[in-house]
Amino acid sequence: METRLTDFGIAGKIIRLQHFTNTQAIIEEEIARGATAIVIVGNDKTFGHVLSRAASSSILFGFLPVGQDNSIASVLGIPVGVESCDVLSRRRKVDLDVGWFNNRYFVSQLHIPLADITIQYDEKFSVSSKNGGLELVVCNLQPFVWKERGGKEYVVHPQDGKLEAFLRPLLHKRLFSHKFEEPSIFPFEEMIVTGTKPFVVSADGKESKETKITIRLAKNRIRMVVGKTRQF
Amino acid sequence: MFQKPSSDIALSQRSSDGTPDDVETVVGPSVHVQGDFASEGNILVKGSVSGNVKTSRLLTVEEGASIMANVKAGEALVSGQIHGNVTASTTVELTASARIVGDIKCANLVVEAGALIYGKVAMVGLKDLVGEKSEKKRTSRRKKTRTSLPSEAHDDVSSEEDNMGDV
C-alpha cells in the first residue's frame, strides 16, 4: 500500500494510534505544522476513534480501509486494501453530515441496545414504548432497509439534512430470547434520550454508558475523499 | 439455541431495486407518541399519538391506531380512530374500520361502508356555492330590514342634511 501511495506521490508523516491517544490534539498539532490532509488507515473502529473527536478540525480527511470490519468503507465507496489508494488519489471531496452526541461525533451509526429509555424529539414530542424497553439505532451514512412481511421494503436514505432514528420496542421478554416489534422510524434534528438506569451507547463501534444523551446533526462537518460508488 | 437480541437491525440489507420509498415517519403499534407531531414527509401511524399531527403529504392511520388530537395532512387514509378534527388539502379516505369523532374538512371524501363519523363534513368544492347562497341571504335580509324601517332611514338622512345646513 505504501508503494502504491508513493506511485501517486502521496507521502507524509505516519502516526500510530494507541487506545488513549487524543486524536484531536494530534491533528491540531499537525495542522499547525502545515498538514493539509489526514489519512486514516484501519477499520471501522479506527475510523470512529479518529473522527469521534477530530470531526471539528477543518482539514481534509481520507480513509484507507485495511483488515476486517470495514462496513463504513463500502458506504463511502472506498474498496478495502490497495485499491483504496486509487480512490484517495482521485481526491473526490464531499462534505459529510455527522451525528453529534455528548461532545462526541459519530459518522456511520449510533446504537443503544434494549434499555428502558424515553426519547424526546426536537423538543416537540416524546416517544415511549407501551411494553417498557426500546432499542434505538440512529443512522447517518448507511441507508436503512426495513423489510415488511409482504416482501415490501422501505428504504430510508440519509443525507437529507436529518438523522433517522429507528426504534424497536420490545414485544415479549423471554428467558433466552426477546421478541421485538417492527421498527418505528422518526427523522429528527435533535433528540434527547433519557434512561432511569445507565444504558449502553455504541457509536461507530465505540461503547460507553450514559444516563442522558443529546443527539444532534452536525451539517457538512467533515470534508472527506470518497469513492464514485458511495451510497449517498 | 441461546439467541441474543440481535444488535444490527437489518443494517446489512439493501433494497432490491434501490428505489427510495416514500414512507418517512413510522409510528409502530406499541409506540406511544405524546406531543405535537409534524413531518414534511409521509406519516404512517400504527400506534397511538396524543397530540396534533401535521404533514403536507400522505397520512396513513392503520387499523388499531389512534390519534387523540387534530390532524392536518395533504391526503389522509384512515383505518383507525381519530378523536379530533381532520383537515386535508386533497382527499380523505375512510375504510370500513375508520372511526372519526370530529369534523372533516377536505376536497374529496371517500367513505367505505362501515366507517363511522361523528361530526360535520365540509368540502372545499361547495365553498363558492355556499358563499353565493349566504350572500343572497344577506342581501334579502337587508332588503327586508329596509322595507320594514323606511321612515327611520328617511329621518336619518334628513337629520344629516339638517346638520350639513347648520355647518
Residue A207's CATH number: 2.60.200.40
Specify the pairing of strand B53-55 against strand B42-45: unpaired
Q: Which residue has the higher pLDDT, B127 or B164?
A: B127
pLDDT tens per residue, range B123-139? 887 766 766 666 666 67
Chain B hits for A181, CB-CB cut-off 8 Å, are 28-31
Cell 468503507 found at? A73
Q: Cβ distance B146 to B127 under 8 Å?
A: no
Q: Is the pLDDT of residue B115 over 90?
A: yes
Q: What is the pLDDT of residue A176?
A: 61
Q: What is the pLDDT of residue B161?
A: 43
Q: How far apart are CA A38 and CA B84, in angstroms?
A: 56
CA dihedral defined by A19, A21, A27, A29, rounded to 10 degrees? -160
Q: What is the pLDDT of residue B14?
A: 34
Q: Which structural domain, as residue segments, surrounds residue A183?
A: 106-218
In this structure, are B32 and B99 located in the same domain? yes
Q: Which structural domain, as residue segments, surrounds residue B140?
A: 127-166
Q: How many domains does chain A have?
A: 2
- B12 domain-assigned: no
Q: Of A9-13, A69-73, A188-192, B128-132, which range is least confident? A: B128-132
pLDDT tens per residue, range A39-92? 999 988 888 888 887 777 888 999 999 988 888 888 888 999 889 999 999 999
Banded model confidence at residue B155, pLDDT cuts 50, 70, 90: very low
Query: Distances in Å between the alpha carbon of B113 and those of B82, B84, B92, B104?
Result: 17, 21, 15, 17
What does chain A come to in residues?
Answer: 232
- φ, ψ for residue B129, nearest 5 deg: -65, -45
Q: How far apart are CA B49 and CA B25, in angstroms?
A: 13
Banded model confidence at residue A178, pLDDT cuts 50, 70, 90: low
- A56 domain-assigned: yes
In this structure, are B144 and B90 located in the same domain? no
- A130 domain-assigned: yes
Q: How many CB atoms lie within 10 A of CB B95?
A: 18
In this structure, are A62 and A141 located in the same domain? no
Contact B24/A at CB under 8 A? yes
Q: What is the pLDDT of residue A202?
A: 86
Q: How many domains does chain B have?
A: 2
In this structure, are B38 and B92 located in the same domain? yes
In this structure, are B102 and B150 located in the same domain? no
- A16 domain-assigned: yes
Beta bridge partners of A172: A179
Contact B116/A at CB under 8 A? no
In this structure, are A124 and A171 located in the same domain? yes
Specify the pairing of strand A104-106 against strand A93-101: antiparallel
Percent of chain A at pLDDT > 70 equals: 87
Q: Of A4-13, A155-164, A211-220, which range is least confident? A: A155-164
Of B18, B23, B30, the CB nearest to A129: B30
Q: Which of A199, A188, A202 is CA-nearest to residue A120?
A: A188
Average pLDDT value over all residues in chain B? 76
Q: What is the nearest CA distance from B2 to chain A, expressed in angstroms?
A: 6
Q: Cβ distance A221 to A106 under 8 Å?
A: no
In this structure, are B131 and B115 located in the same domain? no
Side chain identity, residue B50 = S
Question: Which of A53-62, A90-99, A115-124, B110-119 has the highest mean predicted lDDT (pLDDT)?
Answer: B110-119
Query: Distances in Å between the alpha carbon of A208 and those of A213, B9, B139?
Result: 11, 20, 74
pLDDT tens per residue, range B45-90? 999 999 999 999 999 999 999 999 999 999 999 999 999 999 999 9
Q: How many CB pairs under 8 A join A and B?
A: 111
Q: What is the pLDDT of residue B18?
A: 36
In this structure, are A91 and A127 located in the same domain? no
The mean pLDDT value for A171-189 works out to 73
- A208 domain-assigned: yes
In this structure, are A144 and A211 located in the same domain? yes
Provide DSSP, A167-191: EEEEEEE-SS-EEEPPPEEEEESEE
In this structure, are B47 and B107 located in the same domain? yes
- A23 domain-assigned: yes
DSSP A2: H
Question: What is the domain-level CATH number for residue A19?
Answer: 3.40.50.10330
Q: What is the ipTM of this complex?
A: 0.72
In this structure, are A113 and A204 located in the same domain? yes
In this structure, are A153 and A71 located in the same domain? no
| A interface residues, B as partner, C-beta within 8 Å | 71, 109, 111, 113-114, 124-131, 135, 137, 139, 142-147, 153-157, 166-169, 171, 176-178, 180-187, 202
In this structure, are A81 and A116 located in the same domain? no
What is the H or E stretch that residue B53 is in? strand B53-55
Banded model confidence at residue A160, pLDDT cuts 50, 70, 90: low
- B4 domain-assigned: no
In this structure, are A130 and A160 located in the same domain? yes
| Count of helix runs (H) and strand runs (E) in chain B | 2, 18
Q: Is the pLDDT of residue B19 over 70?
A: no
- A164 domain-assigned: yes
Residue of B nearest to A131 (CA): B30
Q: What is the nearest CA distance from A192 to chain B, expressed in angstroms?
A: 14
- φ, ψ for residue A168, nearest 5 deg: -125, 100
Which residues make Cβ contacts (< 8 Å) with residue A183, sequence separation at least 6? A137, A146, A166, A167, A168, B9, B26, B28
- A230 domain-assigned: no
- A232 domain-assigned: no
